Amino acid sequence: FPWKYPSAQIPDWTAAADLDHTAFLDKCWNGGENPIYVWITHHMSTSFHVATTSAATSPDGRPFWKLPTGLTAYLDPSWDTADEAARAFTRNAFISLAKKYGTHPAVSGFFISNEQNSDLIRGSWQFWQWFDETAQAVKEQATDKLTSMSLVDDALISVLYAEGFGVKYMDLWGVNSYRGTVNSGFDVLFSTFAAKSNRPLLIGEYGPPA
């Protein structure tokens, strides 16, 4: 993690060799002979602080969404202050990664986060808009690479929300799925996904329930 945190500026890469992954990517590419393709991401420090109320709307008129429990959820005021700096840092970190590695032939694309789609936040259009705009920024630097998110397998409710909110810059959806058994495979994952999205599906993690 070679950047100073927090910073709203695009991070500068250090010259230290141990923070440069080019040699690793070169080995993966293997001169184009039986290459190993790589997806790039980094740990997100961005948080989406959600508040809830039993009232019908948010207390200060900010955008809200309903939870299955009946409560009203909204991004609390930290979204406008502390979260803003964290979001700027995270987006700029992805821009920096895309600028540095976006032309390497071993790189398939960039995962804009892993398992951020909790049941509290997945109903927020602001949440999906932020990730979509970040994916757009990545694609502006790495024009021929793919973008995705790796989602918790929540019966693909998150995919339905994201598609409904008009996400444009995610080339495919990644899903971390621990459903089914070693004998039944992924159960109805693929048919359920096909009913909710026309994008490709990438299995980010998998395994039968413990």
Say how many residues make up the chain.
210
Report pLDDT digits (tens) over 108-159. Answer: 999 998 999 999 999 999 999 999 999 999 999 999 999 999 999 999 999 9
- Is residue 17 scored above 50 in pLDDT? no
Looking from the CA of 34 toward its CB, the CA atoms found within 13 Å total 0
Average pLDDT over residues 89-94: 84
How much is the pTM?
0.88
What average pLDDT does the structure give for the chain? 89
Nearest to 146 by CA among 129, 114, 169: 169
